[in-house]
């Protein structure tokens, strides 16, 4: 089997994924791409406060996390959302909250002991 497990994401992958989403500008980029479809860095920079170069760096981080992919079209480069990754993030969160009931029970037991 390759380096990817059955669930399709390693620990580092998950870290990159959430790191990528943990910035307001990148969240904004994700929202914009979701709403308006594929856009170039220049187009994205028009709406944003920051420079095109800043947007480019954010796009690189998003792409490293697998959240966006790019494709050249003539002289411009279009970035689009890669939704499978978002599903993976959701799956991960499912896994974490699965143990929740057990955890809260243990806490209560510990705290309420005399």
Partner DNA sequence: ATATCATGCAACCTTAAGGTTGCACTTATA
Partner DNA sequence: TATAAGTGCAACCTTAAGGTTGCATGATAT
Positions in the binding site for a copy of itself (CB under 8 A):
11-12, 14-24, 27, 30-31, 33-38, 71, 73, 78, 80-81, 83, 86-87, 89-90, 93-94, 96-100, 102-107, 110-111
How does DSSP assign 21-68, residue by residue?
HSSHHHHHHHHHHHHH-SB-HHHHHHHSSS-HHHHHHHHHHHHHTTSE
Binding pattern to DNA, positions 30-59, x when CB under 7 A? Answer: ----------xxxx-----xxxxxx-xxx-
* Residue 52 binds which entry of DNA, a copy of itself, none, CB below 5-8 Å type-dependent: DNA
């Amino acid at each position: 089997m390759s380096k990817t497990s059955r669930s399709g994401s390693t620990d580092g992958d998950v870290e990159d994924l959430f790191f990528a989403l943990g910035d307001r500008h990148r969240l904004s980029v994700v929202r914009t791409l979701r709403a308006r479809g594929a856009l170039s860095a220049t187009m994205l920079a028009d709406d944003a406060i920051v420079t095109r170069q800043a947007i480019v760096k954010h796009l690189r981080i998003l792409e490293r996390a697998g959240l966006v992919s790019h494709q050249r079209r003539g002289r411009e480069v279009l970035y689009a959302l890669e939704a499978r990754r978002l599903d993976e993030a959701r799956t991960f969160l499912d896994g974490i909250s699965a143990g929740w009931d057990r955890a809260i029970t243990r806490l209560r037991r510990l705290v309420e002991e005399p």
